Amino acid sequence: MAMSTQKSSKPKILITGANGLLGQKLVEQLVEQGKFEVIATGKGPCRLTGGGFIYQSLDITNPNEVSEVITRLAPETIIHSAAMTNVDQCELNREACVEVNVKATEYLVKAAEKIQSHFIFVSTDFIFSGENGPYDEEAEPSPVNFYGETKLIGESLVMNSKTSWAIARTVLVYGIANDLSRTNIILWVKNSLEAGKEIQVVDDQVRTPTLAEDLALGCILIAEQHAQGIFNISGSDVLTPHDMAIMTADYFGLNKDLIKKTDSTRFTQPAKRPMKTGFIIDKARKQLGFEPETFRSGIGILAKQIILARS
């Protein structure tokens, strides 16, 4: 997409990872609201649909490219949503994980400092041990896997930066990308039960699942209000994956007998998972006016999107 030559009076906002699930939702909502000039960046060609934004290819692991692009485009706000989030891949490919989650964040923070952008970093509940969730913003981090470690280092780079910053921590993001490329617990349960497959779902982990649209909204509220500090941006329902599976089956009228309870000890995964996380979101509610969907209404939103995506 060509750069627009018209000068916009709107403040510029730049999104990293714009081709990803959260990135797509951010660009969509920002364009719809029309308060910012939206610059979407991602590795390689644009995979976004619709218009109303500028697309700039950007490899965030290349320090020179990051510096050049950020300096040239001079966004007032940066939402850094790009990350390596596959927890097991992070455990197995530590170098790649550090490259994307730590070094790229460092390059972006340095570039933001030069032009004094408001820097919003998207983080995770996996910075916590999971021994005593749900957590508030003051809780002491203690990651149990490498992904969590790299996101915690990313947070500290942001907190120690010489520009205004905010951290949006989130939990178990679910949603539908425009190309239906990503699966999530709702789609997995729906597809499995429709195919008559029995599924094993753990009931000893606790999360506050977050609709991708809600996470995007929370980040945008931070941007609009130039809010600073740490904010928990997640759903408010404290649920086990088993609860989520039952609610999904109920919503779609599918056979719940196919859902079998199990626990985490039965699964061997390269990365350890924190058991009990989830977030207390009072601060975001009070300070930002953030109000997420319930998990049940989130299922409904996804149900509509599935129909639209397939039509």
What is the 8-class DSSP label of residue 303? H
Cα(87)–Cα(217) distance, integer angstroms: 24
Of 185, 180, 182, 144, residue with least CA distance to 309: 180
Q: Is the pLDDT of residue 7 over 70?
A: no
Tens-place pLDDT, residues 283-294? 999 999 999 999
pLDDT band at 182, cuts 50/70/90?
confident
Domains of the chain, each with CATH number or no CATH = 12-174+209-236+272-293 (3.40.50.720)
Lowest mean pLDDT among 6-10, 199-203, 212-216: 6-10
- The pLDDT value recorded for residue 278 is 98
Q: Which tens digits make up the pLDDT trace of 63-109? A: 999 999 999 999 999 999 999 999 999 999 999 999 999 999 999 99
Q: Is the pLDDT of residue 5 over 70?
A: no
* Percent of the chain whose pLDDT exceeds 70: 97
Number of other residues whose CB lies within 10 A of the CB of residue 45:
9
Cβ–Cβ contacts within 10 Å for residue 164, how many? 16
Does residue 134 have a cis peptide bond before it, meaning omega lies within 30 degrees of 0?
Answer: yes
Pair of tokens at residue 246: 């039952």
Beta bridge partners of 290: none
The yes-or-no verdict on residue 311 having pLDDT over 80 is no
| Sign for the pseudo-dihedral over CA of 51, 57, 60, 61 | positive
Q: Report pLDDT for 6.
A: 54
pLDDT band at residue 147 using 50, 70 and 90 as cut-offs: very high
Q: What pLDDT does 309 receive?
A: 83
pLDDT of 4 over the 70 cut: no
Mean pLDDT of the chain: 96
For residue 179, pLDDT over 90 is answered with: no
Give the pLDDT of residue 308. Answer: 87
